[in-house]
Structure 1
Amino acid sequence: MKILVTGGTGLIGRHLVMRLQTLSHHVTVLTRDAQRAQQTLGPEIATMTTLAPLSHLNEFDAVINLAGEPIAERRWTDEQKNKLCQSRWDVTGQLSLLMRQSDNPPSVFISGSATGYYGDQNDALVDEDEPPIIDFAHTLCARWENLALRARNEKTRVCLSRTGVVLAADGGLLGRLLPLYKVGLSGPIGDGTQFMSWIHIDDIVNALLFMLTTDGLAGPFNVCSPYPVRNEHFSSVLAGVLHRPAFTRVPARAVQLFLGEGASLILGGQRAMPRRLTEAGFTFCFSELEAALTEIVNAV
């Protein structure tokens, strides 16, 4: 297949592009920095730096849209919130427009989203039909998804990947936590009772490939393990896998001072369940947290 990928140098994108290449797909990465993309993904990767010259996407069989400013790395000022939105909304809207203008559009459009779509749901079990709590994260994700759905027609199915916390050693939350846990300088965040919907990096890549190749799949999918955990349990398991203590609790106030409104992503959470994905026949390689963390730590 000829596949256009946005966000190809991000955490999920790097692992996905490498897998697609292994499977002999022809991948083109939309990136602002072609040189950096080729350094990250290999000199043979095809790149484009803008969609502006294009009037259609007839030459592609599929589009996987993972572009977006990292959501929890900076304080949510008004300026940063605007970056978070526009970095997702602009490219998604452009892609949908190009697909609508195509005589022979890509047969599938997989577009990123997040379990943050549901807002802070406390302890409630959340599947794809759960009504959301309206907050900034929901507003961001809802428009992101609606823009992607504009590409939907009789020739193009649209899958929305509502992703949980991605666990990998080379980036994301776990990539930042591992050095701290290895020296015994971390533990539960806040009161630790908030749920985390998580997924091993291999499973999210497998899930995206499953959506890519399974005819008929469309709509939103919670892409996360069927066994979400509380933050204090996550901390205990990670410390155990590393054979380190986890008694240095991170105060909620410190997270709030650092991230502002964005602290809600870490101090709140969702107990999301991948109902539609499992009903479609997808099988997780790492559904249990300890097995997932053990594999990641041992592979470093």
Structure 2
Amino acid sequence: MRILITGGTGFIGKACTKFLTAKEHEVIILTKNKDKAPLYAKVISEIDEIKKNDKIDVIINLAGAPIDKRWTAEYKNELISSRVDITGQVISLIERLKTKPKLLISASAIGYYGCQGGEKLVEKSAPVTNFTHELCKTWEDEALKAENYGVRVCIARLGVVFGIGGGMIEKLLPSFKSGLGKKLGDGSQYLSWVHLHDVVRAFNFFIKNDSCSGTYNITAPNPITNEQFTTAMNDSLNLPTFLFIPAVLIKLIYGEMGETLLLKGQYVTPKKLLDEDFRFKFNTIEEALSQVLENQKQL
């Protein structure tokens, strides 16, 4: 198959490119960062480089500005535009392609559900309104326009992704190794995580199974609290866990982003994937951290 990946030089995009190329698919990466693209993939910098008679079987839409920065009014606009604008370009591409793609996999996030504490959330759970919900809903609504052209759409509501070479673990590892890995606030907020390898496997599951469509939570089956994550990280590094970072300090430093993403959390499970017989390779935080941290040592 010929597969177009937007955001193909990002953390998830690079893993998808490597995995799908190994499966002998032809991968085309849309990116502004050509220097970061792997040599084994074709790279384009503008979506208009794809002509109407070109064949594209699958589009994986991952492009978007990082969510883990302070949310000023200006940056909120960038978070929205970086996702919705490129998704709109994808829809325009689908419209003008003579032969339509079979599938659009479009990223979203579990932030769609808003902050609901320990409420157990599945794909059909009602959201509560906040900025992350509005961001994700606008993004998803744009992607779903592909259905108007007969394209099968899978919306991937991603949890916090753990993996080698990027993501949350790479950002936190230096502070944990320095003995500064503390629980955030009281540590009771839930972390709905997923291993990078299972994200890529889920995308491949969508490609292989024509019956897959609609919205999917891409999270491991066993969410954990921030305190459990902190303890597991420190245990993996043979370090003690004590003290905490006060919630008021996190709010002061990170503002709305810190309060929403770091202190409130969500308990999200992948009901639809499990119901459709997808099996995760990494089900527990201990399995995931063991694999990631062991491989980080080799980098």
Task: Report if TM-score (shorter chain) is over 0.5.
Answer: yes
Question: Which of 75, 82, 87 is the aligned partner of 1:80?
Answer: 75
SS in 1 for 2:211: coil
Matched-pair contact (CA < 8 Å) for 2:161–2:168: yes
Question: Which of 159, 163, 175 is the aligned partner of 1:164?
Answer: 159
Cα gap change, 1:298 to 1:54, in 2 (>3 Å)? closer
| Cα distance, 1:62 vs structure 2 | 0.4
Q: Does 1:111 align with 2:130?
A: no
CA–CA distance in structure 2, aligned partners of residues 3 and 133 of structure 1 = 35
Question: Which of 128, 134, 138 is the aligned partner of 2:129?
Answer: 134
Cα gap change, 1:254 to 1:57, in 2 (>3 Å)? farther
Cα gap change, 1:79 to 1:299, in 2 (>3 Å)? same
Cα gap change, 1:57 to 1:294, in 2 (>3 Å)? farther
Question: Which of 79, 102, 115 is the aligned partner of 2:97?
Answer: 102
CA–CA distance in structure 1, aligned partners of residues 107 and 47 of structure 2 = 18
Q: RMSD of aligned C-alpha atoms?
A: 1.4
Cross-structure match for 2:23: 23
Which whole-Å deviations, capped at 9, do the CAs of 1:254-286 have from their partners, x for residues lacking one?
322232111111111110010011111100000
Cα gap change, 1:260 to 1:298, in 2 (>3 Å)? same
* Equivalences for residues 206-225 of structure 1 within 5 A: 206-225=201-220
| Cα distance, 1:221 vs structure 2 | 0.2
* Equivalences for residues 113-262 of structure 1 within 5 A: 113-153=108-148, 155-262=150-257
- After TM superposition, the structure 1 stretch with the greater mean CA deviation from structure 2, 163-172 or 82-91, is 163-172
Cα gap change, 1:258 to 1:172, in 2 (>3 Å)? farther
Tell me how many residue pairs correspond in the alignment. Answer: 295
Identity score, percent: 39
- After TM superposition, the structure 1 stretch with the greater mean CA deviation from structure 2, 176-185 or 75-84, is 176-185
Question: Which of 35, 48, 55 is the aligned partner of 2:44?
Answer: 48
Which whole-Å deviations, capped at 9, do the CAs of 1:32-68 have from their partners, x for residues lacking one?
122332xxx2x23211111245564751000000001
Matched-pair contact (CA < 8 Å) for 1:3–1:64: yes
CA–CA distance in structure 1, aligned partners of residues 148 and 212 of structure 2 = 13
Cα gap change, 1:46 to 1:53, in 2 (>3 Å)? closer
**One-letter amino acid of the counterpart of residue 139, structure 1:** E
CA–CA distance in structure 2, aligned partners of residues 251 and 288 of structure 1 = 27
| Cα distance, 1:140 vs structure 2 | 0.4
| Cα distance, 1:152 vs structure 2 | 0.9
Cross-structure match for 1:32: 32
Cross-structure match for 1:299: 295
Matched-pair contact (CA < 8 Å) for 2:91–2:143: yes
Provide TM-score, normalisation by structure 1: 0.94
SS in 2 for 1:152: helix
Q: Gaps spanning 5+ residues in structure 2: where?
A: none
Matched-pair contact (CA < 8 Å) for 2:9–2:33: no
* Equivalences for residues 5-24 of structure 1 within 5 A: 5-24=5-24
Q: Gaps spanning 5+ residues in structure 1: where?
A: none
Cross-structure match for 1:66: 62
**One-letter amino acid of the counterpart of residue 209, structure 1:** N
Extract structure 1 runs of 4+ deviating beyond 3 A. Answer: 52-58
Which whole-Å deviations, capped at 9, do the CAs of 1:107-157 have from their partners, x for residues lacking one?
000000000000001010000001101000000000100000000147310
Cα gap change, 1:152 to 1:56, in 2 (>3 Å)? farther
Question: Which of 269, 281, 285 is the aligned partner of 1:285?
Answer: 281
- After TM superposition, the structure 1 stretch with the greater mean CA deviation from structure 2, 153-162 or 89-98, is 153-162
Provide TM-score, normalisation by structure 2: 0.95
Which whole-Å deviations, capped at 9, do the CAs of 1:163-220 have from their partners, x for residues lacking one?
0000124212111111211221111111111001000111111111111211121111
| Cα distance, 1:225 vs structure 2 | 0.6
